[in-house]
Amino acid sequence: MSEPRPRVRAVLFDIDGTILVTGGAGGLAWQRAFEELHGVEANVEEHTDAGMTDPQIAAIIFREVIGREGAPEERARAIAAYLRHLPETVAGSDGYRVMPGVEELLDELIDAGHLLGLVTGNIEAAAHIKLARAGLNRFFSFGGYGSDSGDRTELTKAALGRAVLVGGEAFSDGACIAVGDTPRDVMAGHGAGIKVVGVATGSYSVDELRNAKADWALATVEDDFPV
């Protein structure tokens, strides 16, 4: 007889492409930041891929648009300018939307006693700005962010560490899963030792997420979510 499947007690969610899309608000905020500070037009979509962290984005824009490595002080100013512009670009975005079934799923998971966290390449302040427009911050009591590490595996481990602080015990042996929309999310979850639900609500299809070794590959979170 097979061993009973451990009960999932914590679920970690990516933001962009998984919970919501901002309709380009993040890219526009970066563009305004670099135009303000350096007088260059930085089209983020031309230089980055889905799933990259905010520190990686800043570094790439310096390298590929400005043509040099940005000093730590310059990167700090760029991130601060990005955060200054982000509330306005998010609030004004006509393309902002929450993904199908997400808010209903979050309500169901909370009602069932699951602990919910974030695992996102956004720096922490940016994550909460993006969630605030839809009133979704209320669901998440901890997270791992791009401000913890530029490496998604490491920021996922940071989220797991904070889950212990909030939940009072370790989340191992299948007790925690992650949800994301890119192969980077899948790789990060597996690198941190947890299973991953891949959802094809971002830039990647169900087949691409399945090929990336997602433990479950769904069209949306409405499709037989494994909790």
Are residues 117 and 145 both part of a single domain?
yes
Last residue of a domain, one of 91, 110, 141: 91
205 within domain boundaries: yes
122 and 104, same domain (yes or no): yes
Residue 17 lies in a domain: yes
Whether 130 and 210 map to the same domain: the answer is yes
The domain in which residue 164 lies consists of: 10-21+97-218
Whichever domain contains 188, its CATH number is: 3.40.50.1000
- Tell whether the torsion through CA atoms of 129, 96, 15 and 26 is positive or negative: negative
What pLDDT does residue 169 have? 75
Instruction: Give the end-to-end CA distance of the chain in Å, rounded to a whole number.
Output: 22
pLDDT band at 2 (very low <50, low <70, confident <90, very high): very low
Question: How many domains is the chain built from?
Answer: 2
pLDDT value, residue 3: 39
Does one domain contain both 173 and 121?
A: yes
The one-character DSSP state at 137 is G
What band does 53 get if pLDDT is binned at 50, 70 and 90? confident
Q: Average pLDDT in the 138-161 region?
A: 95
Answer yes or no: is 65 within a domain.
yes
pLDDT bracket for residue 212 (50, 70, 90): very high
**Per-residue pLDDT tens over the stretch 134-148:** 999 999 999 999 999
Is 146 in the same domain as 114?
Answer: yes
- Is residue 187 within 8 A of residue 151, CB to CB? The reply is no
CA 163/CA 150 separation, integer angstroms: 20
CATH number of the structural domain spanning residue 29: 1.10.150
pLDDT digits (tens, 9 = 90+) for 27-51: 999 999 999 999 988 887 777 666 6
